[in-house]
Amino acid sequence: MMFRAGEIFEHSFRTIGGEIGLLAEVRIMADTIWLKDVAIYPVHGEKLIIGSTEVKKCLTQLEDMARTSGFQRLRITGKRVSGASKGRQVNLMRIL
């Protein structure tokens, strides 16, 4: 299983704008995988400009990973530290 409760999950996604890294604390509650305090960043230090289509592709890949690992729900939480809506809390719940 790629998700282990209490550990840090790390993964990277290739987009048309460059490679995006994701770090998050893993919490598991029954059939829900919770990626808590998610951090998303450009892997090679460059500034990335990607559109919503690329973000949705990354989210779909993450959903597939969670589903393959046997989860029925994916929760992602964190706080925006840059870009639009800086400081805004993010709380996504997806049914897989």
Taking a C-beta distance cutoff of 8 angstroms, is the pair 66, 12 a contact?
Answer: no
The answer to whether 22 and 38 are in contact (CB under 8 A) is yes
- At 25, the amino acid letter reads E
What ranges do the domains of the chain cover? 8-95
Q: What is the pLDDT of residue 44?
A: 86
The H or E element containing residue 46 is none
- Which token pair is 6? 């209490």
Q: What is the pLDDT of residues 6-64, one digit of tens each?
A: 999 999 999 988 899 999 999 999 999 999 999 988 888 777 788 888 889 999 999 99
Are 38 and 76 within 8 A, CB to CB? yes
Report pLDDT for 1.
59
